[in-house]
Structure 1
Amino acid sequence: MIGPPPGARVLLACGVTDMRRGMDSLAALVQQSLGADPFDGSLYAFRGRKGRLVKCLWHDGVGLCLLTKRIEQGAFPWPTTPNGKVVLSPAQMSLLLEGLEWRRVQPAWRPTAV
């Protein structure tokens, strides 16, 4: 699975997005709804109504990329916020794209010296 690059800024558009939208209309949605620049190198993620499809918009410095992932069972865990967007770390985005719960990650057990 290819994830976002380390240090990348990741924004989730909370709520439901029409998954028939293409690259240009999602870029316009980033500008209008999120108040951000779609060409700044950040990764913008959108989820469909059923929660099984995620589209990500990312400018790699050369051109605009549209990435799509569909999960076969379950749904992507998605937040709801009053301001309409959530900022994630690249690690949290990788967990989300795997269909895992990214909000309550438990640290691994580490042995302690006696």
Structure 2
Amino acid sequence: MIPVALDVRVWLAGGVTDMRCGMNSLALKVQQGLGRDPHAGDLYVFRGRSGALLKCLWHDGVGMSLNVKRLERGRFIWPAPSGGCVAISGPQFAYLLHGIDWRNPQHTARPGKCVGST
């Protein structure tokens, strides 16, 4: 994944997106379906029907990028289906990309090194 600045706004497109769509089709969905400018520097994330595939569309001021991420197991956590979009923060986006529930991330304690008694 191309590194994205922390101040970039991330938008999750609600509902299901046809993952056969390419860069131009997704930019058109952002413009017509979400009513936003795909060239404004925001990052737009789309999820497929299976929930294991994401497409991210981002214009960095120089050109448009389309990135794809697929989980080998599990599904990406997604907001309830709707016609709009949901804004999330950069750290929440990082959780999302790792398959972690970005709405309520939980810190889990890692087991320490066992020291056997002899």
TM-score (norm 2): 0.85
Give the aligned partner of residue 115 of structure 2. none
Give the aligned partner of residue 85 of structure 1. 85
Give the aligned partner of residue 64 of structure 2. 64
Structure 1 residue 81, shift from structure 2 partner: 5.2
Which has the greater radius of gyration?
Answer: 2
3-state DSSP of counterpart to 2:54:
strand
How many residues of Structure 1 are paired with residues of Structure 2 in the alignment? Answer: 109
* Structure 2, gaps ≥5 residues long: 110-118
Structure 1 residue 93, shift from structure 2 partner: 0.5
Within a 5 Å distance, the mapping from 1:1-114 to structure 2 comes to 3-80=3-80, 82-106=82-106
3-state DSSP of counterpart to 1:51:
coil
* Structure 1, gaps ≥5 residues long: 110-114
Alpha-carbon contact 2:16-2:81 (below 8 Å) kept: no
Over the matched positions of the two proteins, sequence identity in percent amounts to 55
3-state DSSP of counterpart to 1:30:
helix
Give the aligned partner of residue 112 of structure 1. none
Alpha-carbon contact 1:3-1:93 (below 8 Å) kept: no
Task: State the Cα RMSD in Å.
Answer: 1.8
